[in-house]
Amino acid sequence: MGDVLDRRQRIKSIIGGSAGNLVEWYDWYAYSAFTLYFAPAFFPSDDPTAQLLSAAAIFAVGFVMRPIGAWVMGMYADRKGRKAGLTFSVTLMCAGSLMIAVTPGYDRIGIFAPAILLIARLLQGLSVGGEYGASATYLSEMAGRENRGFFSSFQYVTLISGQLIALCVLLLLQALLPVHDLETWGWRIPFAAGGVLAIAVFYIRRGLSETNSYLAVKRDPRAVSSGWALFRNHPKQAMTVMLLTAGGTLAFYAYSTYMQKFLVNTSGFSRESATAITAAALFVYMLLQPVAGALSDRIGRKPLMVGFGVLGVAFTWIIFRMLETTSSSFAAFLLVLGALVIVTGYTAINAVVKAELFPAHIRALGVALPYALANTVFGGTAEYVALWFKGRGMERGFYVYVTVMIAVSLIVYLRMPDTKKHSLITDA
């Protein structure tokens, strides 16, 4: 009976942690989903690409705070507990979402409008920087050894769910509101809803159980988590996390958040069609994460990452080139889904791979900080770089850039050990 209760407690904690992760990422991705509608309110311009470029710049700047959040809250989660880190991160996300919801437009307060938007995104970036490490560590430690890949994959299930829900909210508002209303005030609704949901998540996370890994480390006064200790004592693991993240995070943001803009700005689809295509592909992609996670529990983590690297190098150029000229929504859906199926080899298992590289006393920081650094450089700038290439008439240079970075990560995947066989997570 004790084993059954223990398993039930694990599953309850994983569900609770995942639900909070979903709301965090919904709040984060609502910005990207509604950029096409709120950009004119904050960045007046006659050039739609210039408006999107300004909004994408703030999206990228939000990523600058992610390494700071990863550093501060990674140490906090290692020292005060995974549950404490998760609770703190959702508090910051709530504040950022509510600020965006109530900030007047440029026509009313001038330059203060984009300035407040920037501050809100900085708070959200701080939150997400801490969320990734805390949630990846929590789910990986709470899952049992035999199902660690499966359960930890729910981090990306909820991450993608947050993005998908943001797109579904957009589809709903597109159906219910005239375009003028959506552009003037309707875009505020998803941010207000996200702030309210974050308050609910705060109370859910306060009731989570702590992991055995943290409780064991808490009793060891020699266990110290700091940025200096991470790069001094675990430089190889930290560099491995950065390099394996580079290609994966760039591909993920290129295939998901930027794809909606690409379908409108390059392929020529309407905003409504682009949203529907992206949402449908993301839904199938979300369902694939636990499948790939469970597969990694059987065959190991390395084959999936290598598969992503090989297929990403081979097909990224082809997929983007075909999307340039397609006029069929179904063909576009299949192409976007194909790209997302490829990146599943990274997204489904990257959290557990990183967690398995580090000892418990520095695991949250080790997962969060190197990832956040790479994500800031490559993931956060994906839309900006893509639009920069397009603005200079060299759009296909972005396809080359994505392909090259996936190739860099592929080299790391080929050289690193399979963390399933060499995991430093010692809980059964």
pLDDT at 304 over 60: yes
What pLDDT is attached to residue 317? 96
Between 110-114, 204-208, 214-218, the lowest mean confidence (pLDDT) is in 214-218
CA pair distance 260, 340, nearest whole angstrom: 13
The Cβ-side half-sphere exposure at 17, using a 13 Å CA radius, reads 34
- Tell me the pLDDT tens digit for each residue of 78-97: 888 888 888 888 888 888 99
**Contact by Cβ (8 Å): 244, 416:** yes
- Candidates 377, 249, 248; CA nearest to 311 is 248
State the residue for tokens 């359960």: 151
CB-count exposure of residue 153 (10 Å: 0-12, 13-18, 19+):
buried
What pTM, to 2 d.p., does this model score? 0.81
- Candidates 28, 34, 33; CA nearest to 184 is 34
For residue 353, the SS3 value is: helix
**Could you count the other beta carbons within 10 Å of the beta carbon of residue 417?**
13
Between 13-22, 272-281, 351-360, 414-423, the lowest mean confidence (pLDDT) is in 13-22
- Tell me the pLDDT tens digit for each residue of 130-185: 888 888 888 887 877 778 889 888 888 888 888 888 888 988 998 899 988 998 89
State the residue for tokens 């398993």: 7
- Candidates 121, 112, 97; CA nearest to 26 is 97
State the residue for tokens 């110290």: 224
CA pair distance 392, 235, nearest whole angstrom: 39
pLDDT at 420 over 90: no
What pLDDT is attached to residue 2? 42
**219 band by pLDDT with thresholds 50, 70 and 90:** low
Q: What is the mean pLDDT of the chain?
A: 86
pLDDT at 123 over 80: yes
What pLDDT is attached to residue 4? 43
CA pair distance 123, 19, nearest whole angstrom: 21
State the residue for tokens 């569900």: 15
pLDDT at 221 over 70: no
Higher pLDDT, 48 or 133: 133
Domain ranges of the chain: 2-415
- Tell me the pLDDT tens digit for each residue of 7-19: 677 777 777 778 7
Assess if CATH 3.30.70.2740 describes domain 2-415.
no
